[in-house]
C-alpha cells in the first residue's frame, strides 16, 4: 500500500499558507538551517579540517621547511667559506699583530712577545734601504705591467686576424705556456741564460757576438733585472692576451665596418672602437697584473734571491730577507703590512683614474 503524503498542519491551511509536499516545518528546538545543527554554530569550513591538527602549527611547519630549504645551499658552502677565510685572513691578521710586537728568535722559541706599538714601523720607515726597495718595486711593477699590456693587446689583435687553424695553434701555445708551473719555467730560463751551456750565449756567439762567450748574465744587475722582466712577461702574457681576445669577439662587426667606410685606419679604429668598448676589461686586467707583478716572489727568489747587489730585491723579497735571514720577524711583518698598504694605494689610484675616464666617481 502506498504511503500517504504528510498533510500540512491545519493552522497553516486555515491561514492560506501552502506548504510544498515532501518538506516539513521545523519543529520546536530544531535548527532552521539544515547544516547548522551539524557544526554547532561554528565555521562550516572547520568541519572539513582533520581532527587534532592545529592550522597555526601546520603553517609554522611549512615556514620552517621553507627556511631550511633556503638555507641549505649556504650551509653546503659554509665549510669552504670558513676554511678559505681562515687560510687567507689569519696569516694577514697574525702578521699585523707581530708587527706591533718585539718578536725575534727568542720570542719564537719561548712564546709570548712584548707590545712595542709603532716602534717597528718607525725603524722601517726611517731606513733608507726600505725606500730604495720601494722605488725599485714601483719601477719593476711599471715596466712589467706596461710590457704585458702592450704585448697582450698586440697578440689578441693578431689572433683575431688569423685563420681558424692558425688561431687554434696560437691559442693552444698560449694555454700551454700559461699552464707551465712557475718553478719549471723559472728553471728553464735559468738554464737558457747559463754562462757556459746556455742556449742564449751559444746563439749570440754563433751570430758573431764573441763577447758573449761565457758571459755571466746573473752576475750583472741590469742583465739580471732584464731577464726577470722577460720571465714575468712571458708567464703573464697568455692570460691577458686570451682574455682580451675573448673581449674582442664581443664587439659587433658593424662598428668596424662603419669605421672603415668612414676612412678610419687601424690606429683610429683601435682608439675609436676597440679601446672604448674594452675599457672596463683593460682596467680589470691591468689591476690584476699590478697585483700579480707587485707581489711576485717565487721567480725572483728561485733565480737570484734578490741579487746581484740587490738589483732584483723587491718588497716581498726584502720582507722575506729581513724576517727569515735576519730573524727579525717583527720588522719583516711590518714591511709586509706596508707592502699591502702600498699596493692598496696603487690600486685605488688606478681605479680612480679608470672610473674618472668613464665619467664615474668612486
Q: Could you tell me which residue, 135 or 24, shows the higher pLDDT?
A: 135
C-alpha span between 241 and 148 (Å, rounded): 9
Per-residue burial over 3-16, b = 16 or more CB atoms within 10 Å of its CB, e = otherwise = eeeeebeeeeeeee
* Confidence (pLDDT) at 112: 82
Separation CA 359–CA 166 (nearest Å): 40
DSSP β-bridge partners for residue 101: 115
Any idea of the CA torsion for 200, 203, 204, 210, to the nearest 10 degrees?
Answer: 110
pLDDT for position 274: 92
pLDDT tens string 78-92: 999 999 989 988 988
pLDDT at 353: 78
Local confidence band at 52 (pLDDT 50, 70, 90 cut-offs): low
Please return the burial class of 305, using the count of CB atoms within 10 Å of its CB with bins 0-12, 13-18 and 19+: middle
Best CA proximity match to 359, nearest among 288, 255, 280, 289: 280
Q: Taking Cα atoms as reference points, which of 193, 213, 205, 198 lies closest to residue 304?
A: 193
Task: Give the DSSP letter of residue 130.
Answer: H
Rounded-to-integer distance, Cα 161 and Cα 258, Å: 18
Look-up of cell digits 702574457: 237
Closest CA to 239 of 190, 284, 269, 270: 284
At 145-203, the pLDDT tens digits run: 999 999 999 999 999 999 999 999 999 999 999 999 999 999 999 999 998 889 999 99
pLDDT for the residue 72: 85
SS3 assignment, position 102: strand
**Residue from 290, 281, 295, 273 nearest 354 by CA:** 281
pLDDT at 54: 57
pLDDT digits over 149-162, tens only? 999 999 999 999 99
Contacting residues for 115 by C-beta, under 8 A, at least 6 apart: 100, 101
C-alpha to C-alpha distances, 57 to 43, 63, 68, nearest whole angstrom: 19, 10, 17
Contact 260, 269 (CB under 8 A): yes
Q: Answer whether 277's CB lies under 8 Å from 188's CB.
A: no
Are the C-beta atoms of 272 and 204 separated by less than 8 Å?
Answer: no
Instruction: Assess whether pLDDT exceeds 50 at residue 129.
Output: yes
Helices 182-192 and 199-206: crossing angle in degrees, nearest 10, is: 40
Domains defined for the chain, CATH in brackets: 134-357 (1.10.3720.10)
- Count the neighbouring beta carbons within 10 Å of the beta carbon of residue 189: 20
Per-residue pLDDT tens digits for 225-284: 999 999 999 999 999 999 999 999 999 989 989 989 988 888 999 999 999 999 989 989
Question: What pLDDT shows up at residue 358?
Answer: 66
Confidence of residue 362 (pLDDT cuts 50, 70, 90): very low
Residues 19-25 have a mean pLDDT of 48
Mean pLDDT calculated for residue range 307-312: 90
How far is it, in rounded angstroms, from Cα 217 to Cα 191?
A: 11
Label residue 74 by pLDDT band (50, 70, 90). Answer: confident
Amino acid at each position: 500500500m502506498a504511503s500517504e503524503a504528510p498533510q500540512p498542519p491545519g493552522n497553516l491551511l486555515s491561514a492560506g499558507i501552502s506548504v510544498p509536499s515532501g518538506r516539513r516545518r521545523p519543529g520546536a528546538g530544531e535548527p532552521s538551517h539544515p547544516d547548522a545543527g551539524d557544526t554547532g554554530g561554528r565555521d562550516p569550513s572547520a568541519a572539513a579540517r582533520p581532527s587534532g591538527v592545529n592550522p597555526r602549527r601546520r603553517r609554522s611547519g611549512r615556514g620552517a621547511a621553507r627556511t631550511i630549504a633556503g638555507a641549505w645551499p649556504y650551509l653546503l658552502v659554509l665549510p669552504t667559506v670558513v676554511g678559505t677565510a681562515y687560510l687567507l685572513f689569519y696569516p694577514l691578521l697574525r702578521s699585523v699583530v707581530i708587527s706591533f710586537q718585539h718578536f725575534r728568535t727568542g720570542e719564537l722559541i719561548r712564546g709570548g712577545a712584548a707590545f712595542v706599538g709603532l716602534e717597528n714601523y718607525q725603524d722601517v720607515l726611517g731606513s733608507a734601504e726600505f725606500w730604495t726597495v720601494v722605488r725599485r718595486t714601483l719601477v719593476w711593477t711599471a715596466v712589467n705591467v706596461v710590457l704585458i699590456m702592450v704585448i697582450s693587446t698586440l697578440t689578441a689583435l693578431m689572433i683575431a686576424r688569423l685563420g681558424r687553424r692558425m688561431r687554434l695553434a696560437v691559442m693552444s701555445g698560449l694555454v700551454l705556456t700559461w699552464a707551465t708551473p712557475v718553478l719549471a719555467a723559472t728553471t728553464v730560463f735559468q738554464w737558457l741564460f747559463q754562462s757556459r751551456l746556455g742556449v742564449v750565449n751559444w746563439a749570440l756567439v754563433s751570430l758573431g757576438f764573441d763577447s758573449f762567450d761565457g758571459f755571466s748574465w746573473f752576475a750583472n744587475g741590469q742583465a739580471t733585472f732584464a731577464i726577470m722582466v722577460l720571465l714575468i712577461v712571458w708567464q703573464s702574457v697568455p692570460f691577458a692576451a686570451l682574455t682580451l681576445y675573448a673581449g674582442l669577439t664581443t664587439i659587433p662587426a658593424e662598428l668596424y665596418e662603419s669605421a672603415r667606410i668612414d676612412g678610419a685606419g687601424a690606429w683610429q679604429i683601435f682608439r675609436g672602437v676597440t679601446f672604448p668598448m674594452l675599457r672596463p676589461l683593460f682596467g680589470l686586467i691591468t689591476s690584476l697584473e699590478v697585483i700579480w707583478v707587485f707581489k711576485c716572489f717565487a721567480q725572483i727568489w728561485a733565480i737570484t734571491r734578490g741579487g746581484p747587489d740587490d738589483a732584483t730585491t723587491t718588497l716581498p723579497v726584502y720582507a722575506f730577507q729581513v724576517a727569515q735571514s735576519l730573524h727579525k720577524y717583527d720588522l719583516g711583518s711590518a714591511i709586509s703590512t706596508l707592502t699591502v698598504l702600498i699596493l692598496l694605494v696603487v690600486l685605488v689610484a688606478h681605479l680612480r683614474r679608470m672610473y674618472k675616464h668613464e665619467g664615474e666617481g668612486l
